[in-house]
């Protein structure tokens, strides 16, 4: 899963900016900085104090976090069942992904067409599979909530998995798999996953392969649904025009009759394999670079020092060291980012960027030098103070800018077991971090030899730094 300090994992294959673009970028940077400064004065207070998060438990024991908001007549629901594509059986990779494409393709007495007609009357529904969870979302007009919740009940409890929709969605997935077989980014990420995670379930493609998709049957879909959809692995958040008592009834209607416990296979924790050099050779004018260092668990005592260190390194701000050295000073790339990536069974610090292929070696050398200097010397007091201010202010902008975003954030807080009052406590955690703690985090994580992937023409000496 991604946390609020993950940064932006953008596509690294971008051309470097022209000098004119860099000049315009500096002007936009100044305007954006002023705008963000104003927002940062306002939004943290709204996030931490104005938002009243209620823990609502239904008579059947289903719990959800609720934020009542009647400013817009809309209700947003977000939920997740633990166990995603890691639960795909060997030889049936892509099962979870295929299943999530079928929940709005007929349920209960409604076939695909009838279900879609009812859904179009005032609601949006989506499901998606990650490595660690099956997520569902629904956004509905408040006046249509009874009908919308009933459709959600059918989708969650009685998906039909009719053969015609299975064949149609399977064909769509297969078309994407075939197209991606010649896509450098997809080929590279599959290589990366196998190299970093070995034979762990994280190494497998969520979409599956031609052979595995073809092997999936209706019985496989029904078995995965039965194993995963249970109250014991469920987290729910609701935001919008609905009160707690009404929500209790809806929770029982949608989730109350599910089995109490999941029947999912255990998944082992894994440390990403480092000190590897991966080349995915394509004759491209731009080269993608991706590097991995050790990560830190979300609930570790070292997490906030590591998060601040990551933001200083390249967490997506205009002032990060990587942004300054790679883009601002040399114009080698439009974007360069570092991210703390937290999954249920693995953690890593990832750096991504991309540049002209004839300058890829130079760019990689600069990235490695920036990392080396931060590991050796740590940040300055001024960098730490500015980063604390940014992270405190940016939270509301990136996580609380819509009802759907708030619901998604609340679900992630539940998954991380951070507590319903985390938003009030978050500022204190950040401000309590000392410079020595950040220096220690930098030394602990960044002195390891990273795994490096180069996507583009061969790059001599790419693994050395």
Q: Domain check: are 371 and 432 in the same one?
A: yes
The verdict on residue 461 lying in a domain is no
End-to-end CA distance of the chain: give it in Å, rounded. Answer: 30
State the Cα–Cα distance between residues 465 and 462, nearest whole angstrom: 8
Query: Which residues, 6 or more positions from 110, have their beta carbon under 8 angstroms from its beta carbon?
Result: 118, 154
Q: Please say if the pLDDT value at position 37 is more than 50.
A: no
Mind spelling out the 3-state secondary structure of 26-55? Answer: HHHHHHHHHHHHHHHHHHHHHHHHHCCCEE
Place of tokens 């999530």: 100
Q: DSSP per residue over 128-180, as a string? A: EE-SSEEEEEEEEEGGGHHHHHHHHHHHHH-B---HHHHHHHHHHHHHHHHHH
Residue 5 confidence (pLDDT): 67
From the centroid of its chain, how far is CA 334?
A: 22
The verdict on residue 12 lying in a domain is no
Q: Domain check: are 241 and 304 in the same one?
A: no
Q: Domain check: are 209 and 280 in the same one?
A: no
Q: Domain check: are 160 and 279 in the same one?
A: no
pLDDT greater at residue 318 or residue 21: 318
Q: Domain check: are 149 and 291 in the same one?
A: no
The verdict on residue 184 lying in a domain is yes
Report whether 123 contacts 139 (CB < 8 A): yes
Examine the fold and report which residue of 226, 255, 284 is the final residue of a domain before the chain moves on.
255
Q: Domain check: are 152 and 216 in the same one?
A: yes
Q: Which residue in 148, 347, 105, 136 sits closest to 228, CA to CA?
A: 136
The pLDDT confidence band at residue 399, using thresholds 50, 70 and 90, is confident
Angle (CA) 6-7-13 rounded to 5° is 125
The verdict on residue 248 lying in a domain is yes
Number of folded domains that form the chain: 2
Q: Please say if the pLDDT value at position 423 is more than 60.
A: yes
Q: Domain check: are 327 and 207 in the same one?
A: no
Q: Domain check: are 292 and 375 in the same one?
A: yes
- Output the domain CATH number for residue 124: 3.30.830.10
Report whether 318 contacts 387 (CB < 8 A): no
pLDDT in tens, 357-394: 999 999 999 999 999 999 999 999 999 999 999 999 88
Q: Domain check: are 251 and 293 in the same one?
A: no
Range of the domain at 66: 59-255
pTM of the predicted protein model: 0.88
Q: Domain check: are 213 and 273 in the same one?
A: no
Q: Domain check: are 232 and 99 in the same one?
A: yes
Examine the fold and report which residue of 232, 255, 278 is the final residue of a domain before the chain moves on.
255
Q: Domain check: are 232 and 288 in the same one?
A: no
């Amino acid at each position: 899963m991604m946390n609020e300090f993950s940064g932006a994992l953008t596509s690294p294959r971008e051309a470097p900016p022209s000098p004119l673009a860099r000049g315009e970028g500096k002007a936009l940077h100044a305007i954006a900085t002023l705008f963000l400064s104003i927002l940062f004065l306002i939004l943290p207070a709204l996030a931490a104090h104005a938002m009243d998060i209620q823990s609502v438990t239904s008579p059947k024991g289903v719990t959800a976090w609720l934020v009542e908001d009647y400013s817009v007549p809309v209700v947003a629901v977000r939920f997740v069942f633990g166990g995603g594509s890691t639960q795909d059986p060997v030889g049936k990779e892509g099962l979870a992904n295929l299943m999530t494409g079928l929940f709005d393709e007929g349920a209960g007495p409604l076939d695909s067409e009838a279900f879609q007609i009812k859904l179009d009357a005032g609601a949006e529904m989506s499901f998606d599979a990650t490595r660690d969870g099956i997520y569902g979302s629904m956004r509905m007009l408040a006046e249509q909530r009874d009908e919308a919740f009933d459709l959600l009940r059918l989708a969650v409890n009685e998906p039909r998995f009719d053969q015609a929709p299975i064949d149609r969605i399977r064909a769509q997935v297969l078309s994407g798999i075939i197209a991606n077989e010649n896509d450098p980014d997809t080929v590279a990420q599959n290589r990366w996953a196998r190299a970093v995670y070995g034979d762990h379930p994280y190494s497998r493609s969520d979409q599956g392969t031609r052979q595995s998709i073809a092997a999936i049957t209706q019985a496989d879909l029904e078995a995965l649904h039965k194993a995963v959809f249970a109250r014991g692995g469920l987290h729910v958040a609701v935001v919008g025009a609905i009160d707690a008592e009404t929500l209790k009834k809806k929770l029982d209607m949608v989730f109350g009759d599910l089995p109490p416990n999941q029947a999912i296979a255990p998944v082992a924790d894994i440390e990403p394999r480092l000190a590897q050099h991966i080349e995915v050779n394509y004759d491209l004018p731009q080269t993608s670079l991706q590097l991995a260092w050790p990560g830190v668990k979300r609930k570790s005592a070292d997490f906030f020092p590591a998060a601040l260190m990551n933001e200083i390194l390249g967490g997506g701000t205009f002032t990060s060291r990587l942004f300054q050295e790679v883009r601002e000073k040399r114009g080698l790339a439009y974007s360069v980012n570092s991210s703390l990536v937290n999954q249920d069974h693995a953690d890593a610090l990832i750096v991504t960027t991309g540049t002209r292929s004839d300058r890829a070696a130079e760019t990689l050398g600069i990235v490695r030098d920036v990392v080396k200097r931060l590991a050796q010397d740590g940040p300055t007091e001024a960098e730490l103070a500015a980063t604390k201010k940014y992270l405190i202010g940016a939270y509301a902008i990136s996580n609380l800018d819509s009802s759907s975003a708030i619901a998604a954030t609340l679900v992630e807080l539940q998954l991380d077991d951070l507590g319903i009052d985390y938003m009030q406590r978050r500022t204190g955690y950040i401000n309590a971090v000392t410079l020595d703690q950040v220096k220690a985090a930098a030394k602990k994580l960044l002195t390891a030899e990273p795994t490096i992937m180069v996507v583009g023409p061969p790059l001599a000496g790419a693994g050395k730094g």
